[in-house]
Structure 1
Amino acid sequence: MKVLKFGGTSVGSVNNINQVISILEDKSKTDKVICVVSAVGGITDKLLNVGYLAQSKNNDYKDAFIAIQRSHIKLIEALIPKKNKEVITYVETKLKALKDLLDGLYLINELSPQTSDKLVSFGELLSSYIIAETMKSRGIHAERKNSQELIVTNSDFTKAEVIYKATNTNIKTYFKSANQDITILPGFVSKSNLGELTTLGRGGSDFTAAIVAAALKVKQLEIWTDVSGMYTANPKLVKHGYPIKRLSYQEAMELSHFGAKVLYPPTVQPALDLNIPIHIKNTLKPDEQGTVISTETETTIVSPVKGITNINDIALLTLQGSGMVGIPGFSKRLFETLAQEKINIIFITQASSEHSICFGIDIKNADLAKTAIDTAFENEISLHKIDPILVEDQLSIIALIGDNMKNFQGISGKMFSTLGKNNINIRAIAQGASERNISAVINKNDVKKALNVLHERFFEVKTKQLNVFIVGIGNVGEKLIDQIAQQYNFLKKKLKIDVRIIGMANSKKMIFNEDGINLNDWTAQFHFAEKSNLQGFFNKVVDINLRNSIFVDITANEGVSNWYDDYLKQSIAVVACNKIACSGTYENYKKLQDLSLSYNTPFLYETNVGAGLPIINTLNNLIASGDKVTSIQAVLSGSLNFVFNNFSDRTNFHDTVKRAQFEGYTEPDPRIDLSGIDVARKILILARENGGSMEIENIDNQSFLTQTNLESSTVDNFYKTLKTEEAHFQKLYASAKANNCQLKYVAEYKNGKAKVGLREIPEGHPFYNLEGKDNIVMFYTERYPEQPLIVKGAGAGADVTASGLFADIIKIGNK
Structure 2
Amino acid sequence: MQVLKFGGTSVASADTIRQSLAIVAAAAEQSPVVMVVSALGGTTDVLIGAGRTAALADTAYRETLNQLEKRHLTAAQDLLAPEAQQPAVALIDAQFDELRHLCDGIFALGELSNRTLDRLMSYGELLSSQLIAAAAQAHGLAAGWADARQLIQTNSRFGMAEVDVAATENQVAEFKTHNSDKIWIVPGFIAADAHGTTTTLGRGGSDYTAALLAAALGAGKLEIWTDVSGMMTADPRLVRSARPIARISYQEAMELSHFGAKVLYPPTIQPVMRRGIPLWIKNTFAPADYGTLVEVSPPRSAAVVQGISSISNLTLLNLEGSGMVGIPGFSKRLFAALARERINVVLITQSSSEHSICVGVSAQDAAPAQVAVDEEFAHEIAAGRIEPLRPEKDLAIVALVGENMKDHPGISGKLFGALGQNGVNIRAIAQGASEKNISTVIRAADVRKAINVLHEAFFEATVKQVNLFILGPGNVGSKLLEQLARQQSQLLEKLGLQVRVVAIASSQHCLVNEEGLDLTAWTAALAAAPAQTLAEFSQLIIGRNLRNSIFVDVTANPAAAGIYADLLAKSVAVVACNKVAASSEYALYARLKSLAKEFNTSYLFETNVGAALPIIGTLNDLTRSGDVVRRLEAVLSGTLNFVFNNYDGTRPFAEVVRQAQAEGYTEPDPRLDLSGSDVARKILILAREAGEVMEMADIEIETFLPPACLEGDVEAFYTQMAAHEAHFRALYDAATAAGKRLKFVARYADGRAAVGLQSIAPGHDLYDLRGKDNVVLFNTDRYVEQPLVVKGAGAGAEVTASGVFADIIRAARL
Which category of TM-score, normalised to the shorter sequence, fits these structures? Answer: over 0.9
Which segment drifts farther, 382-391 or 659-668?
382-391
Give a deviation string over 1:28-51, Cα, whole Å, max 9, x none: 233222111011111112222211
What is the aligned length? 813
Instruction: Give 1:310's aligned amino acid.
Output: S
CA deviation after TM superposition for structure 1 residue 111, in Å:
2.2
**1:362-511 map, 5 Å:** 362-511=362-511
> Retained in 1: the 8 A contact 2:469–2:503?
yes
CA distance in 2, matches of 1:194, 1:589: 76
CA distance in 2, matches of 1:559, 1:713: 23
CA deviation after TM superposition for structure 1 residue 385, in Å:
2.3
> Retained in 1: the 8 A contact 2:125–2:189?
yes
Q: Which residue of 1 aligns with 2:68?
A: 68
Q: Which residue of 1 aligns with 2:803?
A: 804
CA distance in 2, matches of 1:46, 1:315: 29
1:203 aligns with 2:204: yes
**1:132-143 map, 5 Å:** 132-143=133-144
Give a deviation string over 1:564-583, Cα, whole Å, max 9, x none: 11111111100011111111
> Retained in 2: the 8 A contact 1:396–1:442?
yes
CA distance in 2, matches of 1:176, 1:479: 78
Q: Which residue of 2 aligns with 1:261?
A: 262
Q: Which residue of 1 aligns with 2:745?
A: 746
Q: Which residue of 2 aligns with 1:114?
A: 115
Q: Which residue of 1 aligns with 2:772?
A: 773
Instruction: Give 2:5's aligned amino acid.
Output: K
Instruction: Give 2:12's aligned amino acid.
Output: G
CA distance in 2, matches of 1:341, 1:58: 32
CA deviation after TM superposition for structure 1 residue 172, in Å:
2.9
Instruction: Give 1:794's aligned amino acid.
Output: A
CA distance in 1, matches of 2:559, 2:300: 52
Which segment drifts farther, 71-80 or 483-492?
71-80
CA distance in 2, matches of 1:664, 1:89: 82
SS for the counterpart of 2:126 is helix
Q: Which residue of 2 aligns with 1:667?
A: 667
> Retained in 2: the 8 A contact 1:223–1:281?
yes
SS for the counterpart of 1:570 is coil
1:537 aligns with 2:533: no
Question: Share of identical aligned residues, percent?
Answer: 51
Give a deviation string over 1:99-147, Cα, whole Å, max 9, x none: 1111111112222222222111111111111111112222232221111
Instruction: Give 2:507's aligned amino acid.
Output: S
Q: Which residue of 2 aligns with 1:713?
A: 712
Q: Which residue of 1 aligns with 2:785?
A: 786
Give a deviation string over 1:474-529, Cα, whole Å, max 9, x none: 01101111111111111111111111111110111111111111112111211331
CA distance in 2, matches of 1:280, 1:447: 25
CA distance in 2, matches of 1:791, 1:549: 31
Give a deviation string over 1:414-443, Cα, whole Å, max 9, x none: 212221221111111111111111111111
Q: Which residue of 1 aligns with 2:564?
A: 564
Instruction: Give 2:182's aligned amino acid.
Output: D
Which segment drifts farther, 81-90 or 243-252?
81-90
Give a deviation string over 1:342-398, Cα, whole Å, max 9, x none: 111111112222222211111111111222222222222222222222122111111
SS for the counterpart of 1:809 is helix
CA distance in 2, matches of 1:175, 1:725: 109
1:317 aligns with 2:317: yes
SS for the counterpart of 2:314 is strand
> Retained in 1: the 8 A contact 2:504–2:526?
no
> Retained in 2: the 8 A contact 1:424–1:442?
yes
- Consecutive unaligned residues in structure 2, runs of 5 or more: none
Instruction: Give 2:736's aligned amino acid.
Output: K
> Retained in 2: the 8 A contact 1:11–1:39?
yes
CA distance in 2, matches of 1:520, 1:654: 38
SS for the counterpart of 1:386 is coil
SS for the counterpart of 1:562 is helix
Q: Which residue of 1 aligns with 2:763?
A: 764
Q: Which residue of 2 aligns with 1:552?
A: 552
CA deviation after TM superposition for structure 1 residue 212, in Å:
1.4
> Retained in 1: the 8 A contact 2:54–2:106?
yes
Aligned pair in 2 of structure 1 residues 176, 485: CA closer, same or farther (>3 Å)?
Answer: farther
1:650 aligns with 2:650: yes
CA distance in 1, matches of 2:719, 2:247: 78
Q: Which residue of 2 aligns with 1:284?
A: 285
CA distance in 2, matches of 1:338, 1:780: 70
Q: Which residue of 2 aligns with 1:632?
A: 632
Q: Which residue of 2 aligns with 1:690?
A: 690
CA distance in 1, matches of 2:799, 2:301: 43
Q: Which residue of 2 aligns with 1:329?
A: 329
CA deviation after TM superposition for structure 1 residue 464, in Å:
1.0
Instruction: Give 1:163's aligned amino acid.
Output: D
Aligned pair in 2 of structure 1 residues 140, 805: CA closer, same or farther (>3 Å)?
Answer: same
Q: Which residue of 2 aligns with 1:156?
A: 157
> Retained in 1: the 8 A contact 2:639–2:772?
yes
Instruction: Give 1:168's aligned amino acid.
Output: E
CA deviation after TM superposition for structure 1 residue 704, in Å:
0.8
CA distance in 1, matches of 2:504, 2:301: 40
> Retained in 2: the 8 A contact 1:246–1:296?
no
TM-score, with length taken from structure 1: 0.98
CA distance in 2, matches of 1:291, 1:322: 49
CA distance in 2, matches of 1:694, 1:376: 60
CA distance in 2, matches of 1:172, 1:485: 67
CA distance in 1, matches of 2:745, 2:242: 55
CA deviation after TM superposition for structure 1 residue 298, in Å:
5.0
1:358 aligns with 2:353: no
SS for the counterpart of 1:184 is strand
Instruction: Give 2:215's aligned amino acid.
Output: A
CA deviation after TM superposition for structure 1 residue 176, in Å:
4.5
Give a deviation string over 1:189-215, Cα, whole Å, max 9, x none: 112222222222222111111111112
CA distance in 2, matches of 1:552, 1:318: 41
SS for the counterpart of 1:630 is strand
SS for the counterpart of 1:609 is helix
Give a deviation string over 1:291-350, Cα, whole Å, max 9, x none: 11111235555x411111111111111222222222222222221221111111111112
Which segment drifts farther, 192-201 or 114-123?
192-201
Give a deviation string over 1:432-487, Cα, whole Å, max 9, x none: 11111111111111110011111111111111111111111101101111111111
> Retained in 1: the 8 A contact 2:223–2:279?
yes
- Consecutive unaligned residues in structure 1, runs of 5 or more: none
Give a deviation string over 1:530-581, Cα, whole Å, max 9, x none: 2121000001101100111101110111100111111111111000111111
CA distance in 2, matches of 1:777, 1:16: 72
> Retained in 2: the 8 A contact 1:4–1:223?
yes
CA deviation after TM superposition for structure 1 residue 64, in Å:
2.2
CA distance in 2, matches of 1:787, 1:52: 85
CA deviation after TM superposition for structure 1 residue 81, in Å:
2.2
Which segment drifts farther, 33-42 or 537-546?
33-42
Q: Which residue of 1 aligns with 2:735?
A: 736
Aligned pair in 2 of structure 1 residues 202, 577: CA closer, same or farther (>3 Å)?
Answer: same
SS for the counterpart of 1:10 is helix
CA distance in 1, matches of 2:417, 2:37: 44
CA distance in 1, matches of 2:669, 2:110: 76
Which segment drifts farther, 351-360 or 282-291?
351-360
CA distance in 2, matches of 1:537, 1:660: 33
Q: Which residue of 1 aligns with 2:296?
A: 295
CA distance in 1, matches of 2:666, 2:59: 73
CA distance in 2, matches of 1:198, 1:546: 44
1:174 aligns with 2:208: no
SS for the counterpart of 1:558 is coil
Which segment drifts farther, 558-567 or 523-532?
523-532
Which segment drifts farther, 155-164 or 669-678?
155-164
1:59 aligns with 2:59: yes
Instruction: Give 2:124's aligned amino acid.
Output: G
